Structure 1
Amino acid sequence: MTSPAAVAESSAAEPRSSEQLIRAEARLLAHNYHPLPVVVARAEGTWVEDVEGRRYLDMLAGYSALNFGHRHPALVDAAHRQLDEVTLTSRAFHSDRLAGFAEQLAALTGLDMVLPMNTGAEAVESAIKVARKWAYEVKGVAPDRATIVVAGGNFHGRTTTIVSFSTDETARAGFGPFTPGFRTVPYNDLAALEAAVDETTAAVLIEPIQGEAGVLIPDDGYLTGVRELTRRAGCLFIADEIQSGLGRTGRTLAVDHESVVPDVLLLGKALGGGIVPVSAVVARRDVLSVLRPGEHGSTFGGNPLSAAVGSAVLDLLATGEYQRHAAELGQVLDRGLAELATSGAGVTGYRARGLWAGVDVDPALGTGRQISERLLAEGVLVKDTHRSTIRLAPPLTITEDELHTALAALRKVLAQP
């Protein structure tokens, strides 16, 4: 009788088609995702290739995790070099990479201290803990009474605490009981935010641009208003820039569009260059200093491999090249979407900043999922969100010709009966 190990080894050695691999995933993996029917085997720059050799223009970029494209040479080189040295020490010991990474990140953001983690959700959870601890030790909120104000339509992750303050029932249904201590107000509504803040408020946690909600961009002055309000109220402003940060909007950070500096900044996705998961809480010294040994941690957070790749990412951002490119091609993207929206082509609305856009398609033409599947057939990868909205977020390395290719494909699928 053939052993399970032998069967597995034999199966792994045999080339399998996209259809076979998709069926295998459906049988073996939890169904917490509904991916498009494409099986990526290779990638470089802005393009990916499936197991049959078909090429696709990547207009999603791993939800901004691939801001610098697939396998950017400088990032791959940094990872290779670090793999030959040391990959993990845990934070039980120091490493020769971590201090330099933290120095670069603090300098880039204009803040003082760094708490390295792995995933975006971990950064959010860490910030919640830090904000509560700060409220008790610095602000003087009574024990276990701290509140955090959040915005409706938010997406900060899917851990139990985070879905406790989500307004997306798909993320919440069946996962209670929920963590208390949060107040939800409408996004982009300063009056509602001010009414929700009181002496128990530890922090206001918002996305400067709401990505999962459809790339919702607040009114000019909203972020400035949040900064002024939190300063007056004596609470923290936590900006979740896990998707919007690191060049995506044409600036290093989305808050830079209003020259706002939050008390706490959350980064992730692009910080790992699409190679390793890297996230960070970056904050003022008096905020992060509330943590003491044993109160928070992560075995992999700040490991030498992630620090080396993160440092290489920060080197790329320090040139300003990617921010400028995103701003310049963002104008091309905006013009292309404006043309579709005003020409009766089936785009009922859109929101764009830099190389990031949410595009609302006439529901009569199909759901966001159906539009994404039609674009897949045209060799362009996007992802839907919320009914008939699709998101465009290509690598910041995309060329103008490639961007026009994507827009032409969108125009074509919208014209299909």
Structure 2
Amino acid sequence: SLLASDDFQQNIENTVHEIIEDVRRRGDEALCDYTKRFDEFDLTPESMRVYEEDIHRYASDADDELVEILQQAAKNIREFHNQQVEDSWEYYAGDGIRLGVRQTPIQRAGIYIPGGKAAYPSSVLMNVIPAQVAGVERIVAVTPPRALEENPLVAAALKLLNLNEAYRIGGAQAIAALAYGTQTVPQVHKIVGPGNPYVQSAKRQVYGVVDIDMVAGPSEVAIVADETCDPAWIAADLLAQAEHDEMAGVWLICWSRELAASVFDEVQVQLDLLDRNDIARVAVIDRGIIFIVQSEDDAIAIVNHIAPEHVEVLMAEPDHVSDNIKNAGAVFIGRYAPTVVGDYFAGPSHVLPTNRTARFFSPLGVPDFVKRTSVIRYSGRAIERFGEMIEKFAIAEGLTGHAKSITIRRHKA
């Protein structure tokens, strides 16, 4: 079965490669052809753009109460990301030398918004607001045809964020268009947003031409819990992630067999009540694990090895465990901090590393939309003092042209 899975993934990679090269070569014409083929929608270059008045019209169908909730969530997300803004800086190093870092937002970013059941307005907020706070000048949305008409709350999110440039394209072809540009779709410098395996493959293949947020895998949660937490709460939190995807990872780490048994029973009861119980059941059966450990330190070691997307520490005294978790996308501390508050409302972006990549990747945030440029100011006095050292360093590496660049200045300094 592993080989079959590898074959399936390779087929996706090959198909996506062909689509990317075709869009790169034929531009709008290819986009229209793929949209007809995959989305059964007659697209023309003239109808590709979704204009501001269209976005506002689609948004008018959104429920007023839900729009108010979106506004509060957006406020929380913006307030959190305002804390991440870093200023440019310089310092004086003596002898007329000034060194520093200049922070510059990238100029253009693209957000992919899936269609159908995966069209989540929360993802729009979590991807766009960090870019806006960073100061990105132009943010472009792409989403499959009919997606905004069918999901007025997604259109309401775009309206709320004043994101007025969107295009009716989806799939790998949309990622290719953002990466290379077409006659109608602008080329961007970074692509963010969730998507199906074809979209994820396209993002992986265009990385290097443009930057991407990350290649997202199935959702994950590891819960460290003691006996003070209600088993029903733990079960609900496990199933909240299990309902995302049949491949979701759901793990409980505890030191009480009685708690483990109670949570297991609760999961069975609550599964039957879930609307998406068919998806969640597969995830629980195939990817659900309960670890029964001897101590809190054992629990910490397991979490740091798994490096999960989300970690919940549901304990009466959570600090020792939570303070020692090094590898996680997000840590939710205390019994009243389930993962779901972070999915929608708390403030930090819910775009998090998965598949153990939390060992070296971070959540999406303002720094992901900012470039750092080193700034170096040198004086004649500095060249006079340090030039001979630099020359000798260059000659030792066999780069006499480098040395000459210093020599020619030393005698004029």
Give the TM interval when normalised to the shorter protein. Answer: under 0.3
The two structures have a TM-score, normalised by structure 1, of 0.26
| Larger RCO: 1 or 2 (CA < 8 Å, sep 6+) | 1
